Amino acid sequence: MTSSPAFPRVHIATDHAGMELSAHLVQHLSAKGYEVVDHGPKAYDAQDDYPSFCINAALAVVADQQAGVHALGIVLGGSGNGEQIAANKVKGVRAALAWNHSTAVLAREHNDANVVAVGGRQHTVEEATGLIEAFLSEPFSNDERHVRRIGKIAAYETTGEVIE
């Protein structure tokens, strides 16, 4: 199955604390029609180093988007904070930590976030699934003020210049 405007390709990564949620989401989203690419880890390791998994998922999102493929990412952890930080180190990624329905929706609607971070220890599987579904289904508003602001962030990311 290939991604479509209604169903983006989804790149997912986690640390050990999000493995149960990740496995659920891979199955759940695949059943809904999403093409899900799992960036790991493949086995539980309480000492795992999540940055490589999250960075690889974020790199895949950017590569897909640059190739014209509709793609979004999900990074999971105990809190989601470290995973969000790791993903945000990838040029072209705007990763947002979602902790309620509103933050999940606004991340897409106002910030055109292309990766969502969720804390697996902060929510039930059902709550986290709802946050992910809200994020994946919300389109970017394309409102001029949001486009302008995202452009300023991208300009800083590429040139180091702060635009007033």
DSSP count for the chain of H helices, then E strands: 6, 5
164 is catalytic: no
Three-point CA angle 24, 126, 112, nearest 5°: 85
- Beta strands (DSSP E) in 85-156 are 95-97, 115-119
Element (H, E) at 83: helix 81-88
In Å, how far are 25, 60, 88, 95 from 91, measured between CA atoms? 26, 12, 7, 11
DSSP 162: P
CA–CA gap between residue 104 and residue 125 (Å, rounded): 15
Catalytic annotation on 138?
no
| From 11, 39, 83, 109, the catalytic residue | 83
110, 133, 138, 146: which one is catalytic?
110
Residue given tokens 């040139």 in the structure block: 159
Any idea which residues carry the catalytic annotation?
83, 110
